[in-house]
Structure 1
Amino acid sequence: MGERSIVLKASTSSHPLAADRSKAEPRVLSLLRRETTVPVPTVFDTCDDHETYPAPYFLMEYVDGRTIDHADAPDLPFDVRETIFSEAGRNLAELHTLDSFDEIGDIVGTNGGISVLDTSDSPSYDVFHDWLLDSYEETLDQLLEDGGYFPELATDPNRFDNLVPDIRSYLKETISNLSAPKPPTYCHKDYRYGNLVVAPESGEARAVLDWANLMSAPPAFNLAIAESKLLKPDLNTDASASAGRAGGLRRALWDAYESVRDEWSFDAATRERIRLYRLVFRLDQMACLPLFARTDPTLDDRAARATEHRAFVEQYL
């Protein structure tokens, strides 16, 4: 019998929820293997506690293929990116049909199962938009007062100050008029190029990775986040070409999603919610700019990335 490569994934984070999220991941992977065609590694064994080694941890299959850096995505052939977007639509649609929940919140592993973390920060889904407004009011406060989530890293803490009042007004007016969201489902908050193992030539997914950062949220919220992460700026083309390509890729995502979820429609109300969710995702990117600029070599020019954020937000104002 020949050698076989496997992966050991352990939780070493000091985040208070890291262990509970890590316990959920292998259970979610096994659920996906049983109930869907989403390509994920096989889980061989798990360990929630260990006297010597960092835990929880689990052993899973090693999947051979290519992981794409988001900075290289604009240079990929359009048909490769289209495949990635289409598969994202199908994979997320299957994920969203697994279960629905009554609450919004982090997905954690408990007593051998999977559940939504039961805290005061896990509201019922019928107040999701109220919860969203409260959350991003706090984000705007941090942008205005501290320059974002990481004030100790901010070189220009007042970078977005003049945008904050108009963004705040827009969110208050728009969120209050949104139609009710669909019930929350599993939401993969980090569906991006770096978490995909793909066939090098075609872009076909061999594995979707990193299921430790799941939450329960309306499916349109997950679609907006995934779309935003996959639609990186096309730096080597002019603006009109980039916009046209983005529209084609978004259509590939939506068409594939609809093909799996017969009862789903990207009607006007759904598109309006997705548009708002794209904005709040962008606010997170703005608040994280100091951290991203330190950890991501493609963000060495903070001013240029801030200009991109500003141009995106001003479309709404």
Structure 2
Amino acid sequence: MTRDPSAATVREQVAVVDPTVSVETVDAVDRGRSAVFAVTVTREGETTDWFLKLAPEADDGGIPADARLTTLLADRTDVPVPTVHGVVDDHPDLPTPYYVSSALGGDALDYAEVGWLSDDALARLARETGSALGQLHAVDAVDSFGLVRPARTRSYAGERPTGGVDDLAVRGPDSWHEWLEAWLDSELDRHADSRFGDLTPRLRSWAESRLPTVAEPAHPVLGRNDHGLHNLLLDAETGEMRAMLDWAYTLAVAPAFDFHYAEYIYGGRYLAGIEAVPDRQSLVRESMLAGYRSVAPDRVEWVAEPRPLYDLLASMRVQIDFDLLAPQLPEGTGEAVAEGLRTDAERLLAGEHRYAD
């Protein structure tokens, strides 16, 4: 559930971050769980577009982490992200947490529209995604596995985050295998409640048989985790990435886990039930590896090794969230996509996945 503050409240929130600007317009934007507002501000006669992102009522929506991670990436990488002007973790009179950031241009597409990008546009998007992940994974920010949260040592009252790793904390195990086992168990429990729940027992057995073969990575890395067109702004014609948005649910993970999930999502294999959507998993994989190699040639082996278990986890998340995906699909294709996902899972269980064990 999102909040719906008045325009006057939004003006007050912006003033906490920067009292030198005048807010001219406030428009709500329908984007995700959080309340997002496009605002135009003026200073000394110059007009600028900003965004204000406010947590839902139920929880903090990852807003404090999002602001801190976005700033860290702006300062330490070339990953295209907005400029965070300031974050407010708490306030006695205004709804919080929220942050105010710059606005970046580009097309906002639905998750499933990846299936209809041209080959050239998809290859460019995949290459730039690989480059972004190569840079992200190189940031030395975490030493254990789990959800990346704000450190408890500092609270912001409108300032721009420092962009330092000291602003972040991960309260999870030092063992990747321990974290992955718990994550898998949680995802399987969620999967059991989905329309694909009849597959869950066999998927559980298949996955648990492969868990012991998963090697510990050299160290954890920041993982994008929440991959998909819904969290990007891009040029839909060329595939140029203009912005990677929403870092609220960043995980500290093994590099290959993050890479494989992006590869699965942008390859569009979950759309295989639609005959008009081609299988472009190989195109995406090779383009992502090229992008990763261009910025991290000495670390590409971190992500290049095939991992069917990570493919399964990516597929399961789409299955779990199928009710969110279905409204974005072309009319009359929902059942075909669901059947395609089921067939893909059955093939994996039969040992027919695209990677050799």
Q: 1:249 aligns with which of 284, 304, 312?
A: 284
Q: 1:14 aligns with which of 45, 55, 58?
A: 58
Distance change in 2, residues 1:108/1:82 (3 Å): same
Q: Distance in 2 between matches of 1:277 and 1:73?
A: 20
- Identify which range, 55-64 or 230-239, moves more after superposition: 230-239
Identity %: 27
Q: What TM-score comes out, normalization by structure 2 length? A: 0.73
Q: Is it true that 1:280 corresponds to 2:316 in the alignment?
A: no
Shift of the alpha carbon at 1:264?
Answer: 1.8
Q: Does the 8 Å CA contact 1:40/1:207 hold for their aligned counterparts?
A: yes
Q: Does the 8 Å CA contact 1:198/1:205 hold for their aligned counterparts?
A: yes
Distance change in 2, residues 1:45/1:178 (3 Å): closer
User: Aligned AA for 2:201?
Assistant: P
Q: Distance in 1 between matches of 2:144 and 2:206?
A: 26
Q: 1:115 aligns with which of 150, 154, 168?
A: 168
Shift of the alpha carbon at 1:298?
Answer: 5.3
Relative contact order, CA 8 A, sep 6+: which one is greater?
A: 1
Shift of the alpha carbon at 1:130?
Answer: 3.5
Listed one character per residue, the Cα deviations across residues 10-62 of structure 1 (whole Å, up to 9, x for unaligned) are 112413xx36x311222212211111111111111221112232211111101
Q: Does the 8 Å CA contact 1:40/1:209 hold for their aligned counterparts?
A: yes
Q: What TM-score comes out, normalization by structure 1 length? A: 0.82
Q: Distance in 1 between matches of 2:190 and 2:245?
A: 31
Shift of the alpha carbon at 1:253?
Answer: 0.5
Corresponding residue of 2:342: 310
User: Aligned AA for 2:51?
Assistant: V
RMSD, matched Cα: 2.6
Q: Is it true that 1:178 corresponds to 2:178 in the alignment?
A: no
Q: Is it true that 1:202 corresponds to 2:226 in the alignment?
A: no
Distance change in 2, residues 1:187/1:193 (3 Å): same
Q: Secondary structure at the match of 1:40?
A: coil
Q: Does the 8 Å CA contact 1:104/1:215 hold for their aligned counterparts?
A: yes
Corresponding residue of 2:48: 4
Q: Does the 8 Å CA contact 2:264/2:281 hold for their aligned counterparts?
A: no
Q: Distance in 2 between matches of 1:238 and 1:297?
A: 13
Q: Does the 8 Å CA contact 2:220/2:254 hold for their aligned counterparts?
A: yes
- Identify which range, 296-305 or 131-140, moves more after superposition: 296-305
Q: Secondary structure at the match of 1:14?
A: coil
Shift of the alpha carbon at 1:271?
Answer: 2.2
Q: 1:289 aligns with which of 316, 322, 340?
A: 322
Q: Does the 8 Å CA contact 2:68/2:168 hold for their aligned counterparts?
A: no
Q: Distance in 2 between matches of 1:13 and 1:221?
A: 31
Corresponding residue of 2:103: 62
Q: Does the 8 Å CA contact 1:104/1:216 hold for their aligned counterparts?
A: yes
- Identify which range, 78-87 or 39-48, moves more after superposition: 39-48
Q: 1:131 aligns with which of 165, 171, 179?
A: 179
Corresponding residue of 1:258: 293
Q: Does the 8 Å CA contact 1:22/1:109 hold for their aligned counterparts?
A: no
Shift of the alpha carbon at 1:86?
Answer: 0.5
Q: Distance in 2 between matches of 1:168 and 1:11?
A: 34
User: Aligned AA for 1:72?
Assistant: E
Name the structure with the higher helix share. 1
Q: Secondary structure at the match of 2:114?
A: helix
Q: Secondary structure at the match of 1:4?
A: strand
Shift of the alpha carbon at 1:74?
Answer: 2.3
Shift of the alpha carbon at 1:237?
Answer: 4.8
